[in-house]
Structure 1
Amino acid sequence: MTTSTGAGSTTPITTRPWAALLALCVGFFMILVDMTIVAVAQPAIQSDLDTDVNGIVWVTSAYLLTYAVPLLITGRLGDRFGPKNVYQVGLVVFTAASVWCGFAGSIGELVAARGLQGIGAALITPQTMALITRIFPAEKRGAAMGVWGTVAGVATLVGPLLGGILTDGLGWEWIFFVNLPVGIIGLVLAATLVPDVETHRHHFDWIGVVLSAVGLSALVFGIQDGEKYNWNGWIWSLIIGGLAVMGLFVFWQSRIRTEPLVPLSLFKDRNFTLSNIGIASMGFAISGLMLPTMLFLQLVGGMSPTESAVMMVPMAVLTGVLAPIVGRILDRVHPRTIIASALLLNAIAIGTLAMVTHPDTPVWVLIIPMALMGIASSGIWAPLAATATRNLPWHQAGAGAGVYNTTRMIGSVLGSAAIGALMQTRLAAELPGVSTTGHHEGGTQLPEMVRDGFASAMGQSLYLGAGVLLVGVVAALFFTAPKRSAAPGAPGGPAGGAPVATDEGLSAEAGAPTATGEGVRTAN
């Protein structure tokens, strides 16, 4: 296995890429499990820490916010200091923060610990994507990403089930403590199996980091806490100010000449731009799905955390089974066909779930939209990432991965904030004068007199994600056919089939034979 380091030069990376992939999957798996495992435990956390809906939403939003903002620079940190080294630091930070989460004695402390967890996740994520791009030859990346997609499906299945079992049996604290042994194993595997790869110096745009952090934080706080403060003048000032600062951030990125955080030239590629719109809509929808669904299943349906987690099994199983199949056909089918259809199916599924969110709905009826979401997800995560990264030169792998993942996380954090605001608004409308502060144990139903109103508020909130997904559908309709790339071993191309890095993207040298294919697949 080799990678291009310059015109006509190659440097060996590793003879054991699959072993390295195993090590990388541990960190990826831990992050995904943590995101889904917390969703199941949220009603129990709300009760134990005596907080309201806004407080429990901040447990998710703090994580997503500190995950999203650093992604703009953590990809560059990997390019500069080595993705293996940054990946290992991320594992240490994430694992230590998980232990802090488990010991948190108040909602404020838990929110702070979750914020530190997000920083660890931001250090891990772009390194995994960049390393897969660089350690696997082009002809094997599809298979590697098939494994990647399967890991995502398994994590989606394991997270809720493990969260339910731990919350029921040991308490919600153990959904965080479980990361300690996993993190240690991941650290040992990374140290022994993941190769060191070539690094190069970067200019770090700290002004851009500050602008993006201030702008996004103001937006999230304004949207999420708007209902709490009756949407007064200073809340709107935060929202408008946040938008203005984000606009200033984009302007700054267009003016800076020494490696901007977001190379706007990436967006000259139509598919990269449209993929970012698609993944933002998906992140928004999924972030806005879990909390109202879990609150409905446990507080209206009377399910235990484990029982509510079992409801997610059809979605996770179908995603895990179908993702490798979709990966194999992606090379032969236009991305527009797969991605637009899958996003539309997901919107329909979430809308259907919203319609049947009633206290007397049979369990089997609720399972149908869950299963449809699983089918849809298999055609979204890996295909969108593959379409986005198809033409990125290897030396921009860190920046490209950072931009793509940041877009996904921005969608997620805005979705979390928006769903929190909408849930509070609808609860106030459906149950005026009723406090949303939790004093119930996970799995114990609300009093019968408030179940109808609570279920109605949760169902109405779900429509928001379904509507945002339609924006992604429209974007996906404008995808173009994938471009051709150099065939493995083509004259002028790097040995082992690694793509040629040029200023224009991944392209074939003049006169070299070409082969069709989607190229790099990266999964979320």
Structure 2
Amino acid sequence: MTTTTAPPPAPPAARRATRPLGAVLAAVGIPIFMVTLDNLVVSTALPVIRTELDASLTDLQWFVNAYTLPFAAFLLTAAALGDRIGRRRMFLAGIAVFTLASAAAALATAPWQLTAARAVQGLGAAAVAPLSLTLLAQAVPDRLRTAAVGIWGGISGLGVAVGPVVGGAVVEGLDWHWIFWLNVPVGVVAVVLAVTVLDESRGGARKLDPLGLLLSAGGMLLLVWGVVDGPDHGWTSARVLAMLTCGAALIALFIAWQARNRTPMLPLSLFRSRGFSLVNIVTLTFSAGAFGAVFLLAQFFQVVQGLSPLDSGLRTLPWTMAPMVVAPLAGVFGDRVGPRNLIVAGQVLLAGALLWIGLASSPTVTYGDLVAAFVMAGVGMGLTFAPISTVALASVTEQQRGVASGANNTIRELGVAAGVAALASVFSSYGGYATHQSFVDGLVPAVLVGAAIVAVGAVIAGWLPRRHGATPPGRS
């Protein structure tokens, strides 16, 4: 490189071509795989953990929710802090916190200790998820970005896919503590890779917005908490209504504050882009319908067909592994086919698969009658993951990618929580766990509602812009 009068911020852009794509993908992919894996990996270990820690049913729910709540609530906050103090620095902090909390979870000897460790894990994951995508977009040349995001989507999907299988295998072959111990060496490797491969970057605004951080985090925490508690405490209970109302009020105050603040953590100008606004609506419907259905279908094989956690996880692999293969291909061919077409096709396939599963489910249904629908659903999810991220990032300026990624990830996690809660509520209204037939009586209408939610997203996706080049602020 020559040493002429290059501007100070130039080196990161100049170094993009010198970083091997494989090294960059490893630096951002290993951490995102780790945090998405932990979203579901503990679910198959719950019966064993309940026995060893003498945990109650409420404790078991909190082992899952304690991770989900801070993860969803602080995604936007972590992305905004990364824009101001340094994205790589915040990313590294997230990996370190997640790794240390994993060790604490492995050492837990009481339910409250495991719950607390899972909550800290969620905080660390909130910093990893949005910033991994932002750092990837910054580290690769524009011509490789769509393909790189596709591969990133496949890695993220792999974490979701193998979570139940890894959890079941570890519990049956080793011990439930190893679910968390395995994160420790992986976290150390992830820190080393991030330090050596990734460059530091920041967003546009440098001034912190403490009030915005408090309002957004508090509002998201109460909203997600209310949604999670809805099925158990009743949607009309004072507890749930209070959390939902207060959460919505805090989010409204946050939006009003962002409109007045000269250095907002979430520039409302982002939503003037038709592409950004619509792709986030599709993210919400996709996450709610798909993951709400997966939550119930994963239990179907254990409750109705009497399979072990490991065998149940293996039965879902045609669905959950397909995105790992399809998402990178969607990234490679995304520029040629167009992200809008891929998202529409993915949502149509997913809605059709859920409809198929809902209509075919019965206490005596064979696995062979469902496996084609599972593959169809997995292909639909794979066609959706990467294009959604591509459109979200391409609809904003480079300086806004961090907060855009944080907003998109926040909406996705809110969709997951809302979908699980809503479909669980439908399930409990029509069926239950008393008999195989009662479980199916609740499963069928819940999965059909999931199919309808995804179908709405497919229609909305048809309104996405055809082109996805960089969009100036305030334009669609």
Cα distance, 1:464 vs. partner? 3.8
Cα distance, 1:395 vs. partner? 1.5
| Of 207, 219, 223, the match for 2:223 | 219
Structure 1 residues 430 and 141: alpha-carbon distance in aligned structure 2, compared to 1, 3 A threshold:
closer
Secondary structure of the residue that 2:170 maps to in structure 1?
Answer: helix
| Alpha-carbon distance in structure 2 between the residues aligned to 1:404 and 1:30 | 19
Aligned partner of 1:335 in structure 2 is 339
Secondary structure of the residue that 1:380 maps to in structure 2?
Answer: helix
Aligned partner of 2:252 in structure 1 is 247
Question: Is residue 231–residue 421 contact of structure 2 (8 Å, CA) maintained in 1?
Answer: no
Aligned partner of 2:180 in structure 1 is 176
Question: Is residue 104–residue 117 contact of structure 2 (8 Å, CA) maintained in 1?
Answer: yes
Aligned partner of 2:106 in structure 1 is 102
Structure 1 residues 102 and 266: alpha-carbon distance in aligned structure 2, compared to 1, 3 A threshold:
same
| Of 438, 444, 447, the match for 1:453 | 438
Secondary structure of the residue that 1:379 maps to in structure 2?
Answer: helix
Question: Is residue 36–residue 159 contact of structure 2 (8 Å, CA) maintained in 1?
Answer: yes
Identity of aligned residues (%): 32
The code of the aligned residue for 1:10 comes to A
Structure 1 residues 452 and 44: alpha-carbon distance in aligned structure 2, compared to 1, 3 A threshold:
farther
Question: Is residue 319–residue 374 contact of structure 1 (8 Å, CA) maintained in 2?
Answer: yes
Q: Structure 2 unaligned segments of length 5 or more: list them.
A: none
Cα distance, 1:251 vs. partner? 2.0
| Of 13, 16, 19, the match for 2:15 | 13
| Alpha-carbon distance in structure 1 between the residues aligned to 2:105 and 2:384 | 31
Query: Does 1:137 pair with 2:163?
Result: no
| Alpha-carbon distance in structure 2 between the residues aligned to 1:107 and 1:467 | 38
Count residues in correspondence. Answer: 468
Question: Is residue 223–residue 421 contact of structure 1 (8 Å, CA) maintained in 2?
Answer: no
| Alpha-carbon distance in structure 2 between the residues aligned to 1:30 and 1:214 | 26
Cα distance, 1:95 vs. partner? 1.3
Cα distance, 1:92 vs. partner? 1.1
| Alpha-carbon distance in structure 1 between the residues aligned to 2:356 and 2:161 | 22
Secondary structure of the residue that 2:10 maps to in structure 1?
Answer: strand
Query: Does 1:207 pair with 2:211?
Result: yes
State the superposition RMSD in angstroms.
Answer: 3.0
Cα distance, 1:263 vs. partner? 1.0
In terms of mean alpha carbon deviation, does 101-110 or 340-349 score higher? 101-110
Aligned partner of 2:372 in structure 1 is 368
Structure 1 residues 451 and 44: alpha-carbon distance in aligned structure 2, compared to 1, 3 A threshold:
farther
Deviations 1:339-378 (A, max 9, x none): 1221122122223333344332112123222211111012
The code of the aligned residue for 2:363 comes to P
Aligned partner of 1:482 in structure 2 is 467
**TM-score, length of structure 2 as denominator length:** 0.88
In terms of mean alpha carbon deviation, does 337-346 or 227-236 score higher? 227-236
Cα distance, 1:55 vs. partner? 5.1
Aligned partner of 2:362 in structure 1 is 358
| Alpha-carbon distance in structure 1 between the residues aligned to 2:416 and 2:242 | 22
| Alpha-carbon distance in structure 1 between the residues aligned to 2:243 and 2:436 | 34
Structure 1 residues 502 and 278: alpha-carbon distance in aligned structure 2, compared to 1, 3 A threshold:
closer
Structure 1 residues 370 and 100: alpha-carbon distance in aligned structure 2, compared to 1, 3 A threshold:
farther
| Alpha-carbon distance in structure 2 between the residues aligned to 1:32 and 1:238 | 26
Please show how residues 366-405 of structure 1 align to structure 2 within 5 Å.
366-405=370-409
Structure 1 residues 162 and 221: alpha-carbon distance in aligned structure 2, compared to 1, 3 A threshold:
closer
Deviations 1:378-435 (A, max 9, x none): 2101011111221322221212211121221222232233345445x33xx645xxxx
The code of the aligned residue for 2:405 comes to A
Higher Cα radius of gyration: 1
Question: Is residue 57–residue 416 contact of structure 1 (8 Å, CA) maintained in 2?
Answer: no
Please show how residues 75-154 of structure 1 align to structure 2 within 5 Å.
75-154=79-158
Query: Does 1:237 pair with 2:237?
Result: no
Secondary structure of the residue that 1:330 maps to in structure 2?
Answer: helix
Structure 1 residues 228 and 387: alpha-carbon distance in aligned structure 2, compared to 1, 3 A threshold:
closer
Deviations 1:192-243 (A, max 9, x none): 2223346776222222222223333333333433454453334323333332
| Alpha-carbon distance in structure 2 between the residues aligned to 1:368 and 1:45 | 34
Deviations 1:3-49 (A, max 9, x none): xx999973333521422332221111112222232343345545665
| Alpha-carbon distance in structure 2 between the residues aligned to 1:359 and 1:174 | 34
Structure 1 residues 200 and 266: alpha-carbon distance in aligned structure 2, compared to 1, 3 A threshold:
closer
| Alpha-carbon distance in structure 2 between the residues aligned to 1:420 and 1:254 | 36
Secondary structure of the residue that 2:396 maps to in structure 1?
Answer: coil
| Alpha-carbon distance in structure 2 between the residues aligned to 1:105 and 1:237 | 34
Structure 1 residues 245 and 257: alpha-carbon distance in aligned structure 2, compared to 1, 3 A threshold:
same
Cα distance, 1:142 vs. partner? 2.7
Higher relative contact order (CA 8 A, sep 6+): 1
**TM-score, length of structure 1 as denominator length:** 0.80
